[in-house]
Structure 1
Amino acid sequence: MRKSFVVSMLSASVLLGGCQAVNTTSGGAVGVERKQYMFSMLSTDEVNQMYAQSYQQTLSEASSKGVLDKSSAEAKRVQAIADRLIVQAPQFRPDSAQWKWEVNVIKSDELNANCGPGGKIIVYTGLIDQLKLTDAEIAAVMGHEIAHALREHGREAMSKAYGVQMARSGAGALLGLGESSMAMADTVVNYAMTLPNSRANENEADLIGLELSARAGYDPNAAITLWNKMTKASEGAPPEFMSTHPASSSRIASLQAAIPKVMPLYQAAKK
């Protein structure tokens, strides 16, 4: 166990030593101020370009299967909601005004949506249809996903994984750990470093997404109804401490506490 602990400490040292402390966005009314550690050799542009290639591959595969929806009423609805949110993104990150944003809808039963680095958005129809989402609830989902991109959580995770891998390789040679010990060390590193930050990232995306939706003129209370629907759709989810997503009760409580901060923005947007 001591060797595993040393590996986790080495991982942290490598991660911090090779990274720069940055804050990718302004705090906004919701006050997201956490410093992030990014590998300087892994630039924003590089990550955006890598993801853009993967995104285009996903679209090509969807198109070849006939499930890429470009023209339906639902696709136009998603695009219109996304447009209102994207206009608000520079409030948190001015350079996002120059991003090459893309919004696409894929016909699938999957309850999912995402926004990758550089503003590449995909919404799966199952999310909207099965949960019967309102426009404001769609905005809550998309705002959350856009927030991940604005905060560069993908680049942050890549930086962290890179640091862990470097430390794992170096520590394995240094300490003479066998495969079983290294597997245990990986578990320690994973739970000691990666998962807590992932939960923090989810909370940040919830809060920034809430503000984006409010600024775009969507009722922030829709975030609560959205997650209530998500809770019913995901019964049997793992306990919070074992998951990269906060338990629904914690998530909803955090959102409820933040709604008064963004309600004036929503009311101003309605006018």
Structure 2
Amino acid sequence: MAKLFYLSGLTAALLLAGCQAVNTTSGGAVGVERKQYMFSMLSTSELNQMYAQSYQQTLSEAQQKGVLDKNSSDARRVDAIAKRLIAQTSAFRPDAAQWAWEANVIDSDELNANCGPGGKIIVYSGLIHKLKLTDDELAAVMGHEIAHALREHSREAMSKAYGVQMANQIGSVLGVGQAGLGMANAGVEYLMTLPNSRSNENEADLIGLELAARAGYDPNAAITLWQKMEQAGGGAPPEFMSTHPSSSTRMSSLKAAIPKVMPLYQQAKGQR
């Protein structure tokens, strides 16, 4: 047990030496202010380049299969909503205006959308059609995904994964047994990875809510969106063991934040 505590202390010291405490975005009206710890050896530009290559490969494979949708009404909707949301990203981080943003639709039954590092968006048509999303609801889910990219949650997760790997290596060197390493890994996972993953989802909810409001989309659509997602999902795992907030927690957080962004929505609607 003494070795295990020593492992934790030494690992923490080495992690801090290689980490930078940053806040990738401003807090906005929703007040997202959590400090993030990133390994300095993994830069934003490097990760953006890496993801851009993967993104282009995904698009190329979709095109070969005939499922890359460039011309349908879905594609036009996604493009129009993306442009309005992207125009508001500078409210959270000015450098996002220089990102090489892309938004594409893949014809698939999958209930999914994502925005990777550097602003690479994919929306799967199943999300639009199976949930019968309005433009406001589609803006809510796209805003959520864009928020993940603005907050660099992927880079943060990779930094944490590197920390877990370092803990394993140090434990092997110190001769900590497999049981001890298992305990250390469990501690790192629950105390470091899962809580932050849940907080990341909450941050994406809140920033996405504000992005949509600033772009002139009704913030209340975030509630109906997650209600539809909950119905489609048929329930959720216990919150403590999940990387995502429970639906009730998520909707409570969104409802509390809507009054903060409603003036932004009303202002944007008045300008359109």
Per the TM alignment, residue 166 of structure 1 is displaced from its structure 2 partner at its CA by: 1.2
Q: Deviations over 1:135-177 (max 9, x none)?
A: 0000000000000000101111111111111121112221332
Structure 1 Cα separation of the partners of residues 37 and 166 of structure 2: 16
Change (3 A) 1:164 1:235: same
Matched, 1:99 2:121: no
Structure 1 Cα separation of the partners of residues 12 and 125 of structure 2: 40
Aligned mates of 1:84, 1:243 — CA distance in 2: 32
CA pair 3-99 structure 1, distance change in 2 beyond 3 A: same
Q: State the identity %.
A: 76
Tell me if the contact between 1:51 and 1:117 (Cα under 8 Å) persists in the aligned partners: yes
- How much has 1:187 moved relative to structure 2? 2.3
Structure 2: unaligned runs, 5 residues or longer: none
Q: Tell me, which stretches of 5 or more residues in structure 1 are unaligned?
A: none
Please say if 1:150 is aligned against 2:147: no
Aligned-pair CA distance for 1:41: 1.2
Aligned to 1:63: 63
Specify the SS of the correspondent of 1:27.
coil
* Pairing of 1:154-173 with structure 2 (within 5 A): 154-173=154-173
Contact 1:3–1:185 at 8 Å: present in 2 too?
no
Contact 1:14–1:167 (CA under 8 A) maintained in structure 2:
no
Aligned 1:213-224 pairs, distance under 5 A: 213-224=212-223
Q: Distance in 2 between matches of 1:81 and 1:2?
A: 55
| CA distance in structure 2 between the aligned counterparts of 1:189 and 1:175, rounded to whole angstroms | 18
Query: Secondary structure in 2 aligned to 1:52?
Result: helix
Contact 1:108 1:124 in 2 (8 A): yes
Match of 2:36 in 1: 36
Is the alpha carbon distance of 1:134 and 1:181 closer, same or farther for their aligned partners in structure 2, counting shifts above 3 Å? same
Secondary structure in 1 aligned to 2:122? strand
Q: How does 1:84-163 map to 2 (within 5 A)?
A: 84-163=84-163
Query: 1:269, CA displacement in angstroms?
Result: 0.2
1:186-228 per-residue CA deviation (whole Å, 9 max, x = no partner) reads 2221112100001111111000000000000000000000011
Aligned length: 270
**Of 1-10 and 257-266, the range deviating more from structure 2:** 1-10
Cα distance in 2 for residues equivalent to 1:41 and 1:239: 35
Instruction: Work out whether residues 113 and 121 of structure 1, in 8 Å CA contact, stay in contact via their aligned partners in 2.
Output: yes
Aligned partners of 1:11 and 1:189 also within 8 Å = no
Residue aligned with 2:105, SS: strand
Q: 1 CA distance for matches of 2:5 and 2:111?
A: 38
The one-letter code of the counterpart of 2:236 is A
Distance (Å, rounded) in 2 between the aligned partners of 1:202 and 1:111 = 17
Q: Which moved further from structure 2: 158-167 or 194-203?
A: 158-167
Q: Which moved more, 1:6-15 or 1:243-252?
A: 6-15
Partner of residue 244, structure 2: 245
Amino acid at match of 1:16: L
